[in-house]
Amino acid sequence: MADGLLLLIFLLVSFSFVAGVTSRNITIENKCDYSVWPGTYSTNGPSLSTTGFLLRKGEARVINVPSSWRGRFWGRSLCSTNSTGGFSCVTGDCRSGNIECSGASSTPPTTLVELSLDTFNGQDFYDVSVVDGYNLPVIIVPQHPKRGQSCISVGCVVNLNKSCPRELKVGGDQPVACMSACQAFNSSIFCCTNSTEKCQATLYSQNFKRECPLAYSYALDDQTMLFTCANSPNYVVTFCPSTIPNATK
């Protein structure tokens, strides 16, 4: 009898533990005509099972993340390994010397996908940001949101390198990335570091906004560019999408 009771308690406790631990799936897919090395960075909690990996053209990978995870994803391009085994990328490099970023974040200019899960009243907050500049087109798409929710697909699908002002281009006449004005000029006007002045959009951030209206373009752009979704959807992050689709029903 005692053994049976102990077994029942064990099963109940085990069930409660499992039921209380939930997670999400983030699918990362590469639709570029070239390889991309996605990176992941956790701003809340431990690092994910991978912090950097290779996706060849047409490949995808599913990453399991904790239900209350906060962090970012980005893509690295033009990566290679040197004769001594050191790994580096021309854009988006995390300077770890390896494919895994191991707790290091991206080096601007980089297009960022920012995600905060279950942040307030079960709401997820997410955006695609070009505040730190741009290197690759990318979108994030909530999967199977309930009807009536404000879950929309957002991102930047155009090649901003083509319309990048000359003074912000990385790579000269064949640019591989576009710096933010803050990175290029290190001025409080562009970096929004002067607390006595209200941060405003500049001609440079307005150019980004015009090309990518559903991307976060400057430091205080959150009134219109920070999106929410509830009821624990999964997400798909796509590099080089052809369009921004409606959220999957």
Summarize pLDDT for 76-127 with one digit per residue, the tens: 999 999 999 999 999 999 999 999 999 999 999 999 999 999 988 888 999 9
**188 phi/psi in degrees, rounded to 5:** -60, -25
pLDDT, one tens digit per residue, over 181-219 is: 999 999 888 888 765 566 788 899 999 999 999 998 887
C-beta of residue 150 within 8 angstroms of C-beta of residue 228: yes
First CA to last CA distance, the chain: 50
C-beta of residue 44 within 8 angstroms of C-beta of residue 72: no
Considering only CA atoms, which of 126, 93, 111, 106 is closest in space to residue 158? 111
CB-based burial, 235-246: b 16+ in 10 Å, e otherwise: bbbbbbbeebee
Q: What is the pTM of this model?
A: 0.86
Maximum Cα–Cα distance across the chain: 80
Q: Degrees (nearest 5) of the Cα angle 30, 129, 120?
A: 105
203-211: long-range contacts (C-beta < 8 A, 24 or more apart)?
A: 204/165, 204/168, 204/180, 205/180, 205/181, 207/163, 207/165, 208/130, 208/134, 208/160, 211/156, 211/158, 211/160, 211/163
C-beta of residue 130 within 8 angstroms of C-beta of residue 216: yes
pLDDT, one tens digit per residue, over 29-60 is: 999 999 999 999 999 878 899 999 999 999 99
- Give me the pLDDT at residue 246, please: 64
pLDDT, one tens digit per residue, over 10-21 is: 333 333 333 344
DSSP codes, 152-168: --EEE-S-HHHH--GGG
Domain 24-239 coded CATH 2.60.110.10: yes
Any residues with CB less than 8 A from the CB of 25 and at least 6 apart, and which? 62, 63, 64, 65, 234, 235
C-beta of residue 106 within 8 angstroms of C-beta of residue 135: no
